[in-house]
Structure 1
Amino acid sequence: MRIRSTTTAGVGALVLLSFLAPSAHADARKGDTVFTSLSFSKQTVNVGVSAAQTLTVTAVAKDGSGIKDIYGSKLVSADSRIIHAGSADCTRPTSTTRKCVFKFTLDADRTDYYDLRNSSAGTWHFTAEAAANDGDFYDLEDSAPVKVKRYAKLADTQASPEPVAKGGTLTVTGTLTRANWDTNAYAGYSGQAVTLQYKKSGSSTYTTVKKVTTDKSGKLRTTVTANSAGTWRWTFAGTGTTNTATAYGDSVALK
């Protein structure tokens, strides 16, 4: 790991994650140095095409001789792109521990190396090295994953005709798009299974009606039989590189 110094700054609220066991493939250590806790402000970071997203990582390391510092904090993407922490705030809770809060900015709308690319989406890893006063260390490489995904959107559901005769046929349409980090624009997401759901008037629960696959432009179109008044909507479960999305529903009355 390349050692890199950090600067100071503040942080936000955290969502605690279970600290994973050291990876047999990449993590390395010497002596009794250990990371006692690790937490991320978000388990998944969904990034669009213009608004930057922030991820905060809090790491606590311990060694019997005390921790000199936590060095080299960075995020490594699925395509080996490296994002260094923009700031860090480190304290010493006890004589043997060091706590550092690192703040990262993820942005697809940049003109430098830190600009996200489509190939960057997927599982990222936080890496850092805790160095002890007695020369011991813990090199964290593979055991701190976080998901960074392309932001997806479902256009408002459209069902017609409105109102519809009982037993009549409704045509339900929609469009699924997702962020293209290479072009900084949203584009139709083709070949994706999207679920059509229905909620009967007076009910608070949606039920699955069918799954429909988006066409080459990300568009959705299907027909259903209208047996009662209610609301129709599309919902997308997401993928390993793209977040979930749910469209606003369209309420249809009977005539």
Structure 2
Amino acid sequence: MRIRTTVAAVSGALALSALAVPAAQAVDGPGTPDVSRFAPRAAADELPMEDIQIGDTKITKVVVNGGKNIVVGTTAKKKVTVAVTATDAAGIGLGGGFLWHGKKFAESSVDGMLVPADSARPTCKKLNATTSTCSLPVTIDPKASLDKNGLRNHLAGGGWNVYGMATGKDEDLVIKTQLKTAVRVQRAARLTVNASPEPVKKGKAITVSGALTRANWDTKKYAGYTQQPVKLQFKKKGASSYTTVKTVKSDSKGNLKTTVKASVDGTFRYVFAGTSTTPAVTSAGDFVDVR
């Protein structure tokens, strides 16, 4: 994907920080990064593709989606926040960030980006005289193209980074293109269960079927998650907790099926522990009357 074009889309939000640096500061002395191209203009061309440090502004912390993995289905938009905590002796003026996927922030590496809308603006919370946390909302749309905050299956899991920036009230500037985050972007999962027959005679076989499916961002539909271990659990009538009966592996279509011997009234459910690309999910319970 053309990341310079995509980065330009965030100029309305993040460029507020970069554009706050006056062009004159770019020529104060030898060795100072040339940020003159970030001077205010009718339409910002693009944000920098390299790290920049002017003055003593530092980014000390980045939190994506409150530290929780981002789970996205096939239709509903998902709103997350990228929060950048920064410090400067004069205090923090603005800050923000966005997500990108790949090994290096370069045309040859970046294969996905999740950026704030042009209309988004940072919201900064002052922690003390020198430190603030600035947040920007990012809306993920699984139905959109990659250039419009959409997702494709190859982007599920880890490998996401944060492009962050902050300015001091004294117009110092820091830009970090590759800040790390452990947050994963995951494909939403569904899990069903059905125990039959109902009612059943004691000692007879109960067939417990179900299906494990997950969002396919390429087709915009849910499809079977195949060859995955799923626990079958049972809770005796009147009990407060479930116990694991056995582990069942989903078939080539994501379907689950096993049999158990009927003994007492109770509820069956399936439990999937999750993977790096797909979150944990638990089915609803299905009660069986044993007579």
What is the TM-score when the length of structure 2 is the normalising length?
Answer: 0.72
Q: Is 1:213 equivalent to 2:249 in the alignment?
A: yes
Equivalent in 70, 74, 98 of residue 95 of structure 2: 70
Q: Which of 80, 90, 98 is the aligned partner of 2:111?
A: 80
Contact 2:195 2:268 in 1 (8 A): yes
More strand by share: 1
Specify the alignment match of 2:265 in structure 1: 229
CA distance in 1, matches of 2:13, 2:284: 43
What do the CA deviations read for 1:52-105 (whole angstroms, capped 9, x no partner)? Answer: 11101222211114445326x211135631121122333473653444211011
2:74 corresponds in structure 1 to 49
3-state SS of 1:145 partner: coil
Question: Which structure 2 residues correspond to residues 1-255 of structure 1 after superposition, within 5 A?
Answer: 5-7=11-13, 32-42=56-66, 43-70=68-95, 73-77=97-101, 80-86=111-117, 87-91=120-124, 93=126, 96-111=130-145, 113=147, 114-123=149-158, 124-132=160-168, 133=170, 135=172, 137=174, 139=176, 141-155=178-192, 157-255=193-291
Seen in structure 2, the aligned counterparts of structure 1 residues 58 and 142 have a Cα distance that, compared at 3 Å, is closer
Does the 8 Å CA contact 1:127/1:144 hold for their aligned counterparts?
Answer: no
**Is 1:41–1:56's contact at 8 Å kept on the other side of the alignment?**
yes
Paired residues, number: 236
Cα distance change, pair 109–200 in 1 and its aligned pair in 2 (3 A): same
Q: Structure 2 CA distance, aligned partners of 1:225 and 1:195?
A: 17
Q: Secondary structure at the match of 2:180?
A: coil
What is the alpha-carbon distance in structure 1 between the residues aligned to residue 195 and residue 52 of structure 2?
57
Structure 1 residues 250 and 95, CA, compared in 2 at 3 Å: closer, same or farther?
closer
1:15 equivalent in structure 2: none
SS, match of residue 69 in structure 1? strand
* More divergent stretch after superposition (175-184 vs 115-124): 115-124
Check whether the contact 2:56–2:89 (CA below 8 A) recurs between aligned residues.
yes
Identity %: 38
1:223-244, CA deviations, whole angstroms, 9 ceiling, x for partnerless residues?
A: 1112211000111111100111
Q: Show structure 1 runs of 5+ residues with no match.
A: 9-25
Give the alignment's Cα RMSD to 1 decimal: 2.8
Q: Which has the higher helix share?
A: 2
Contact kept? 2:146, 2:152, Cα under 8 Å: no
Change over 3 Å in CA distance of 1:134–1:170 after alignment to 2:
same
Give the structure-1-normalised TM-score. Answer: 0.81
Distance 1:92 1:220, change over 3 A: closer
Q: C-alpha displacement at 1:139, in angstroms?
A: 1.9
Note the alpha carbon deviations across 1:189-218, whole angstroms, 9 max, x for none: 111111100000001200111111111111
Aligned CA distance change for structure 1 residues 104 and 151 (closer, same or farther; 3 Å): same
1:125 to 1:145, Cα distance in 2 relative to 1, 3 A: farther
Contact 1:197 / 1:210 at 8 angstroms: preserved in 2? yes
Shift of 1:163: 1.5
Deviation of residue 111 (structure 1)?
3.9
SS at match of 1:119: helix
Which whole-Å CA distance do the structure 2 matches of 1:92 and 1:229 have between them?
A: 54
For 1:19, the equivalent position in structure 2 comes to: none
Cα 1:136/1:77, change in 2 over 3 Å? closer
Letter in 2 for 1:100: C
The 1-side partners of 2:133 and 2:241 are apart by 44
